[in-house]
Amino acid sequence: GAVVSQHPSRVICKSGTSVKIECRSLDFQATTMFWYRQFPKQSLMLMATSNEGSKATYEQGVEKDKFLINHASLTLSTLTVTSAHPEDSSFYICSAPSRTEGTDTQYFGPGTRLTVL
Amino acid sequence: QKEVEQNSGPLSVPEGAIASLNCTYSDRGSQSFFWYRQYSGKSPELIMSIYSNGDKEDGRFTAQLNKASQYVSLLIRDSQPSDSATYLCAVIPGGTSYGKLTFGQGTILTVHP
């Protein structure tokens, strides 16, 4: 299957700092990528849709000024958590669709565990 | 009503048994259905996708889709302890943007030796 990478895999930062997470599609191009957040013992919550060449689309309740998304190229999307606070501590996962058998299947990155002290 | 519903479990089965995981969805226009497996602390990995009514088999896994009943299931034959994980049902509802998934809350499966 298609491969999606994320960097870093784990980050610990102080409250008030900003953290950038990268998501790359390694063997295919992705004009669209998705960013999810997962709290312990909960399912994945879609935060936003990252669109190459245009603004990201945010889900209801997600602050676009706090979670900055930039889809810099057909293989790279970044999520920046600005002025991070302890409640932003979570598992952040990106995904990208790859077309196989005429339909689009989402492939997930390995995730980034963010801990804000 | 949640868009995608799963029994949260935990579902416990003995090694070698068949594990049956169920999922219902609310949007009749949904066309694409997926089962993901997620180990603790890891991201989801795709197990099966299914788009047409009926069964789709891949090794020990069989996905079943019934659009009239808005129901999709996953059977795991000859369950192994390594199958112990959270299984996520995901759907692309009708009319949503490109590839946008809606997830169920996940079913925790435990396979005991």
How far is it, in rounded angstroms, from Cα B47 to Cα B68? 23
Q: Which residues of A are less than 8 Å from B44 in CB distance?
A: 44, 93, 108
B52: left (phi over 0), alpha (psi -120 to 50) or beta: beta
- So what's the pLDDT on residue A53? 87
- So what's the pLDDT on residue A101? 60
Q: Which residues of chain B approach chain A closer than 8 Å at the C-beta?
A: 32, 34, 36, 41-46, 49, 51, 88, 90, 97-106
**Residues B68-103 pLDDT 10s:** 999 999 999 999 999 999 999 999 887 766 678 889
Q: What percent of chain A has pLDDT over 90?
A: 76
CB atoms under 10 Å from CB of B95, counted, come to 8
Round the average pLDDT of chain A to a whole number and report it. Answer: 92
How far is it, in rounded angstroms, from Cα B113 to Cα B110? 10
> CB B51 to CB A1 under 8 A?
no
Q: How far is B77 from chain A (nearest CA, A)?
A: 23
**Residues A62-88 pLDDT 10s:** 999 999 999 989 999 999 999 999 999
pLDDT band at B60 (very low <50, low <70, confident <90, very high): very high
Q: Which residues of B are less than 8 Å from A97 in CB distance?
A: 98-99
pLDDT band at B106 (very low <50, low <70, confident <90, very high): very high
How far is it, in rounded angstroms, from Cα A116 to Cα A15? 6
**Residues A88-114 pLDDT 10s:** 999 999 999 887 666 677 889 999 999
Is B20:B111 a contact under the CB 8 Å cutoff? Answer: no
How far is it, in rounded angstroms, from Cα B20 to Cα B35? 12
Of the residues A60, A106, A107, the best mutation for testing chain B's interface (the one with the most B CB atoms within 10 Å of its CB) is: A106
Q: Which residues of A are less than 8 Å from B100 in CB distance?
A: 34, 46, 49
- So what's the pLDDT on residue B98? 65
- So what's the pLDDT on residue B97? 62
Helix (H) and strand (E) counts for chain B?
0, 11
- So what's the pLDDT on residue B2? 64
Does the pLDDT value for residue A22 go beyond 90?
yes
Of the residues A5, A29, A44, A71, the best mutation for testing chain B's interface (the one with the most B CB atoms within 10 Å of its CB) is: A44
CB atoms under 10 Å from CB of A109, counted, come to 27
Cis amide leading into B44 (omega within 30): no
CB atoms under 10 Å from CB of A36, counted, come to 25
> CB B49 to CB A105 under 8 A?
yes
How far is it, in rounded angstroms, from Cα A110 to Cα A5? 6
CA A49 to chain centre: 9
Average pLDDT of the residues in B41-56: 93
Q: Which residues of A are less than 8 Å from B49 in CB distance?
A: 103, 105
Q: Which residues of A are less than 8 Å from B46 in CB distance?
A: 1, 105-108
Round the average pLDDT of chain B to a whole number and report it. Answer: 92
Average pLDDT of the residues in B31-54: 93
